[in-house]
């Protein structure tokens, strides 16, 4: 295992065990079996390490998108599967429970580099399915879908208090995403084209 992976693995262990606030660089170095100078050459602190760790955790869900979807139904299933993977991710859920304010920076205040990468991936999927989904700016549509799914994935515990069956919320999310992406009927298309004319 390379040093970078060992450090990220160690950071994950420490955060799961101790929480972000009590995780220290010394503890991560000890867990990774590296010296503190080695660790500090790569990261200035726990928050910077956490950023790379979250990137690795979130980008890993893209494996669920392969083989790439070739229809609207396949696309929706990819979105649902990725949302469920984030909702059940051990690290993210631990942070939600112990240090939820930390996620505000990464998921609420701005789109970080990980979200931008995910949005570019989603937008590419939308472009590949032109004609299968409604017309619109793929980049803006990707931003809306990502925002909706990450809010639902990080609010899983709250939703389960209303209904404890995850399948119920998967179905609700499917209705939401399908309604947003399904091609317009003739009347909706006329309204959409009229709005484009007004905007220009």
**pLDDT (tens digit, 9 = 90+) per residue, 70-119?**
999 999 999 999 999 999 999 999 998 888 888 777 677 678 888 899 99
At 133, is the secondary structure helix, strand, or coil?
A: strand
Alpha carbon distance 94, 50 (integer Å): 13
Alpha carbon distance 138, 1 (integer Å): 38
- Say whether pLDDT at 193 is over 90: no
- Say whether pLDDT at 198 is over 70: no
Q: What is the pLDDT of residues 19-64, one digit of tens each?
A: 999 999 999 999 999 999 999 999 999 999 999 999 999 889 989 9
Instruction: Please name the residue that has the structure tokens 């409604």.
Output: 134
Instruction: Please name the residue that has the structure tokens 């955060």.
Output: 15
The strand pairing partners of 133, in sequence order, are 130
At 130, is the secondary structure helix, strand, or coil?
A: strand
- Say whether pLDDT at 17 is over 70: yes
Sign of the CA dihedral with 40 first, then 14, 153, and 56 last: positive
Q: What's the whole-model pTM score?
A: 0.84
Confidence at residue 82, expressed as pLDDT on a 0 to 100 scale: 94
Comparing 195 with 107, the larger pLDDT belongs to 107
- Residue 181 near residue 134, CB atoms below 8 Å: yes
**Burial class, 55, CB count within 10 angstroms (exposed 0-12 / middle 13-18 / buried 19+):** middle
Confidence at residue 79, expressed as pLDDT on a 0 to 100 scale: 96
Q: What is the pLDDT of residues 126-174, one digit of tens each?
A: 999 999 999 999 999 999 999 999 888 888 788 999 999 999 999 999 9
């Amino acid at each position: 295992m390379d040093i970078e992976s060992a450090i990220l693995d160690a950071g994950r262990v420490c955060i799961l065990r101790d929480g972000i606030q009590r995780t220290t660089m010394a503890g991560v170095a000890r867990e990774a079996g590296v010296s503190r100078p080695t660790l500090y050459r790569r990261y200035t602190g726990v928050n910077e390490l956490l950023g790379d760790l979250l990137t690795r955790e979130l980008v890993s869900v893209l494996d669920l998108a392969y083989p790439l979807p070739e229809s609207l139904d396949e696309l929706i299933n990819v979105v649902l599967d990725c949302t469920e993977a984030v909702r059940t991710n051990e690290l993210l859920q631990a942070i939600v429970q112990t240090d939820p304010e930390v996620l505000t920076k990464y998921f609420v205040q701005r789109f970080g580099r990980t979200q931008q990468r995910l949005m570019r991936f989603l937008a590419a999927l939308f472009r590949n399915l032109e004609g299968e989904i409604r017309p619109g700016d793929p980049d803006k549509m990707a931003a809306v879908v990502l925002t909706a799914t990450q809010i639902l994935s990080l609010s899983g515990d709250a939703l389960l208090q209303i209904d404890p069956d995850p399948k119920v919320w998967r179905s609700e999310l499917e209705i939401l995403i399908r309604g947003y992406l399904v091609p317009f009927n003739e009347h909706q298309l006329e309204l959409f084209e009229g709005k484009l004319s007004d905007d220009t």
